[in-house]
Structure 1
Amino acid sequence: MYDSITIKGNIVLPTEVLFDSYLTISNGKITSISKEKQDDSEIIDATNQYILPGAIDAHVHCYSSMLEGFSNATKSAAAGGVTTIIEMPYDADKLICTQALFEEKKILLEQEAVVDVAMLATIAPKDGLYQIPLLAESGACGFKVSLFNTDSVRFPKIDEGELYEAFKEIEKTGRPVGVHAETDSIVRKFIDNYADEGENNPSAHCKSRPKVAESTAALTVMELAHYTNAKLHLYHCTFPRIFDLVDYYKSQGTNVTAETCTHYLTLCEDDMERLKAKGKINPPLRSAKDMVDLWELLRHDRIDMVTSDHAPWTIDKKQATDIFSNSSGAPGVEVLLPILYSEGVAKGRISIVQLVKVLSDNPAKHFGLGHRKGKIEVGYDADIVILDPNEKWILDETKMYSTARWSPYEGMAMQGKVKRTFVRGKEVYNGKVIGQLGDGIFINAIHGSEL
């Protein structure tokens, strides 16, 4: 931890880049941003490099695999320039659906996390509504629910009628409610239709989860949000029509945001034969055209956030010859920022300001972290990333920190390298992870009138 330090470089603010400028950090906070050095503090010379606000990955599953945990997921985050993760409430062994379980997990993260963590909660099917205000009281940054029954214990579907009641209760807390939007009955029907094709045919997974399953679910929850005034977030949206529908509901006054993920921007259904089960993700990879069109939406500021949906399954969960017998999801928190820079900014698809908007500013604002996270501003936490925009490298899965030890992006040619990561002024990565377990803290979400 530096008591006071100044970093010189190209500082990326919410609306502009200050070239050859100075950022000063004292006691974990940003204390000055200027064209001239303000004091005699130690200086880090990052000339010709970007000084970015730390990324906030709003979609991380630390415990879908119990081997990963906060320790390995947050080491991965630090290496990738992610200074805050938002943890999902679906652990391999339980739902984080009560205040007691939420408080237990908070204690665990402050023992094991290397970067800062905000946490989502969920509700138990049929009898979980009374816990909603208690979970908000404990600092949950929002609630996550699903219209698809991934697992009746670990990741259940909440029926639409109960969801309507839940939306009304969640609205009272000011917290957002995020939804895994796939219509369960449609997916079940299509999995049955394509079950015989799943043996040695990875593309059957994509066919089994048609676009209409995603769009009908998105419409359902946007209608619920419209009639309850709940603050809604749609996770892992995969094709442009979803964002068209989001724009319509925004025009109607509905409070809704939507994200896409790095895999939908860089991989498509044509990659399934190469990736096999490594490309099995829910919702599935879509067409090459959808991938291109998502970049256009990003360029026009029509996608609110980009996330990793980090799901660190070990490789044994991806080895079955029947595609439907494999776990769904892929590790990604370590490459969220590098991929969006390399494929987006370096290739001229989006600007560096747009990158920090979808990776830092917007997630912080939506999930109640905007009082201290998400941008470079005096008084904010000194969550800082130094990125060399010109360094070229090849993504090597064997050098990543996740216990998954594999990546769907293996061998990808990259431009733009995270060189150093600071969390509240403490350096946690400098080419290797140097942060310690327990350096990260729980970030209490503050929404609306609480600010």
Structure 2
Amino acid sequence: MSTIAKLDLVIKNGSVVLRDEVKLLDIGIKEGRIVQLGEALDAELATHMVDAAGLTVMAGMIDVHVHLNEPGLGDWEGFETGSAALAAGGCTTYIDMPLNGIPPTVTINGMQQKLAAAKERSYVDYAIWGGLVPGKLHELIPLHEAGVVGFKAFMSSPGGQGEDAFREVDDYTLLEGMKVIASVNKVLALHAESEPIVSKLGLDMREAGRLTPSDYVASRPIVAELEAVNRALFYAEQTGCALHFVHISSEAGVRSIQHARDRGLNVTVETCPHYLALTSADLEVKGAIAKCSPPIREAAEQEHLWGAVANGLVDIISSDHSPCPVSMKEADNFFDAWGGIAGAQSSVELIIGEGHVKRGLPLTLLSDMLSGAPARRFGLDGVKGEIRIGLDADLMLIDLNEAYILEERHLYQKHKHSPYLGMELPCKVMATYLRGQRVYGANTGLDDSKQGRWVRPL
């Protein structure tokens, strides 16, 4: 019997996005792994066949920046609804942040509670971030040994309330934490905004009665991002700690990080779809649904950021899915509304649609930012992140010619608000496969079973 006869699934006739090229190929899958790539695999000898003619086949997105808020805040979002939205958006693996759950993942107990909440409730695979906060330096090594992919710290207030809420780092905790994290070869992810700058400007705005969206944007200027980035890079030079800067909103921030990389620092940079799809003018129309920190920037800055993406200066694009109940977006002034964008389901369609369909950026470049680079950075390469023989068959099928208007009925997240509602998305995820099993189809919805597993870095 031929090898082909043993295949579980053949996906035929798709335009397959490999690491360095796009080719018309068939994909042979066995026991969850890609085992063959060829131009004429015999689908009749496989158990199942999918005809992907006219579709683009890409590695499933690895979203390294997701807040699913369990344990403790499942009324905001949970693993079941959050992973459903991710699956519908072409994501096959996500890394859950240590906040806003209660307790946060800053102790082994907190990590165990998070994993218990996720078990058998996720549609796609997941990994876990640990947290770096004041008073918990002794927890870093145990969390590392337990299997977190890295650690997350805030250089400005995360906005949580209550005794157990996640806290921003002081300079001592940041410096000492970097030493510990470097000793175990992990990565520290940083929300880089200067707390002294943004808190003082925010207070001044409130006292002056300046409470509009544009006032909020002015209270969190790019210089606050740059100050925090450069302070963290200085500490990294002293400690040898690998850094990953999350949701960088400015070209200047990207270039500061690139200059550090040119000097030999181990550092990567992430931006998010909302900085590439929305501008500060949208805040006036959409309101707090589009509020986040750092804030959405003006149109000229967005174009500069797209230039950084096009030039390969951005490593990773992630959603920063930060959901909450609609009531938390309703406030008397913009400053009091919860800051966080719920957009996990739309990341791929926004980035491939705007980046490739509209701007003509190579699919290989965008696929690497969505999948390949996240896998390499956080120890999942060799298992995930590319369409390559031997890797998990984590795939998304996209119709580059299927534009549609995003409506509430399309959303799988718990609370059906999104700044992208009403927008025309230039392409559409038609199917998502996790280890060769379809977990989502545009015409069939979600698969009944939840096959997501906890994955740990190699």
TM-score (norm 1): 0.95
Residue 74 of structure 1: aligned partner: 83
The alignment partner of 1:47 has SS state of: coil
Residue 54 of structure 1: aligned partner: 60
1:133 aligns with 2:141: yes
1:101-112 to structure 2, matched below 5 A, reads 101-112=110-121
The alignment partner of 1:379 has SS state of: coil
> Retained in 2: the 8 A contact 1:78–1:433?
no
Aligned equivalent of 2:37, options 30, 33, 36: 33
1:30-179 to structure 2, matched below 5 A, reads 30-38=34-42, 40-41=45-46, 42-63=48-69, 65-67=73-75, 68-126=77-135, 128-150=136-158, 151=160, 153-179=164-190
> Retained in 1: the 8 A contact 2:61–2:370?
yes
Aligned equivalent of 1:11, options 6, 16, 30: 16
Deviation at 1:357, TM superposition (A): 0.5
Aligned equivalent of 2:206, options 188, 195, 210: 195
Q: How many residues align?
A: 443
Deviation at 1:155, TM superposition (A): 2.8
The residue type equivalent to 1:12 in the other structure is V
> Retained in 2: the 8 A contact 1:58–1:307?
yes
Deviation at 1:135, TM superposition (A): 0.8
Q: Which runs of 5+ in 2 are unaligned?
A: 1-5
2:209 and 2:68 map into 1 onto residues whose CA distance is: 28
1:346-361 to structure 2, matched below 5 A, reads 346-361=357-372
Deviation at 1:119, TM superposition (A): 0.7
Residue 449 of structure 1: aligned partner: none
The residue type equivalent to 1:76 in the other structure is A
Deviation at 1:111, TM superposition (A): 2.3
> Retained in 2: the 8 A contact 1:113–1:437?
no
1:118 and 1:433 map into 2 onto residues whose CA distance is: 24
> Retained in 2: the 8 A contact 1:118–1:443?
yes
Residue 265 of structure 1: aligned partner: 276
Q: Percent identity?
A: 31
The residue type equivalent to 1:243 in the other structure is V
Q: Which digits, 9 at most, give the CA deviation of each residue in 1:200-256, with x for residues without a partner?
A: 622211011111111100111111112211110001000100111011101111000
> Retained in 2: the 8 A contact 1:71–1:437?
no
The residue type equivalent to 1:71 in the other structure is E
Q: Which digits, 9 at most, give the CA deviation of each residue in 1:160-203, with x for residues without a partner?
A: 11211100100112111000101111111100111146666222
Deviation at 1:435, TM superposition (A): 3.0
Deviation at 1:94, TM superposition (A): 2.1
Q: Which digits, 9 at most, give the CA deviation of each residue in 1:90-121, with x for residues without a partner?
A: 13422211122212322321221110001100
CA 1:198–1:345: 2 relative to 1, 3 Å: farther
1:269 and 1:400 map into 2 onto residues whose CA distance is: 24
1:172 and 1:375 map into 2 onto residues whose CA distance is: 29
2:100 and 2:188 map into 1 onto residues whose CA distance is: 18
CA 1:194–1:365: 2 relative to 1, 3 Å: same
Deviation at 1:437, TM superposition (A): 5.6
Instruction: Give me the CA root mean square deviation.
Output: 1.6
CA 1:195–1:336: 2 relative to 1, 3 Å: same
1:320 aligns with 2:331: yes
> Retained in 1: the 8 A contact 2:329–2:337?
yes
CA 1:225–1:200: 2 relative to 1, 3 Å: closer
Q: Which runs of 5+ in 1 are unaligned?
A: 447-451
1:122 and 1:345 map into 2 onto residues whose CA distance is: 35
2:207 and 2:157 map into 1 onto residues whose CA distance is: 21
TM-score (norm 2): 0.94
